[in-house]
Each structure stands twice: as structure tokens, then as C-alpha cells.
Amino acid sequence: MDIRASLSYCGVSAQKARLVIDTVRGLPAKDALNTLQFTPKAVAPAVYKLVASAVANAEENFGLNRDDLYVYRITADEAPTRKWRRFGARGRFKPVLRRASHITVILRDKE
């Protein structure tokens, strides 16, 4: 049984989010939460809340035990990029790309 939770339009680029989610892929849910709690990256609190939400969904909606869950799949995909501009010298402008990401986590219970 797959338990799914997703976060849309996270304010961190997908490339930076993948550095964090690669550390928790395949871990038991409790170990993943502990790892994320002490990860010093900007996206770690958002991923922590996402995994905690998936665990809560599993407990509340499906009656599964938190100790039997593990992170089966976790992905970070690119969201639309906001394009800003800053004006520079001599009438030029410098483009600023504000990247975002969509993060999805799928938990499974051990057989």
C-alpha cells in the first residue's frame, strides 16, 4: 500500500532539494525524520513536515504503524520559474530566476 504526500511550489530549487531528499530515500520513516531534523539545509524543515504529514496520513487514514513505514520513493521536480529583473548600469537589466520545486514522497509498509 502506498501512502502519498506532496508539497507544491516549495521556494527552493529542485537541485538543492535533491541534495536533502537523497539522504532519506530508502530509510525507515522514523530514521528519516531524525535525519531531517538535524540537517542544516534550508529545505530540510519543509521535507521534514512533508514526511511527517505522510506518516500521519498513514496512521490516521489507513491504521498503519509508524514503525513499519519506510520511504519508498521521494522526488523533487521543477516548478515554474518566476522571472524578475534588476536594472544595472547603462540601462541594462540583469535577469533573476526564482526557482521553485514540487516535492513528492511515497511511503510503504514493510511486509
pLDDT tens per residue across span 70-95: 999 999 999 999 999 999 899 899 99
Q: Which domain holds residue 47?
A: 2-109
Instruction: Kindly report the CATH number assigned to the domain that includes residue 31.
Output: 3.90.470.10
Q: What is the mean pLDDT of residues 24-51?
A: 95
> What pLDDT is stored for residue 82 in this prediction?
94
Predicted confidence at residue 22, as pLDDT, reads 95
Q: What is the spatial distance between Cα 61 and Cα 17, in angstroms, rounded to a whole number?
A: 28
pLDDT at 30: 94
The total number of structural domains in the chain stands at 1
| Alpha-helical segments (H) within the chain | 14-24, 29-37, 44-62
Which pLDDT belongs to residue 45?
96
Read off φ and ψ for residue 102, nearest 5 degrees.
-110, 125
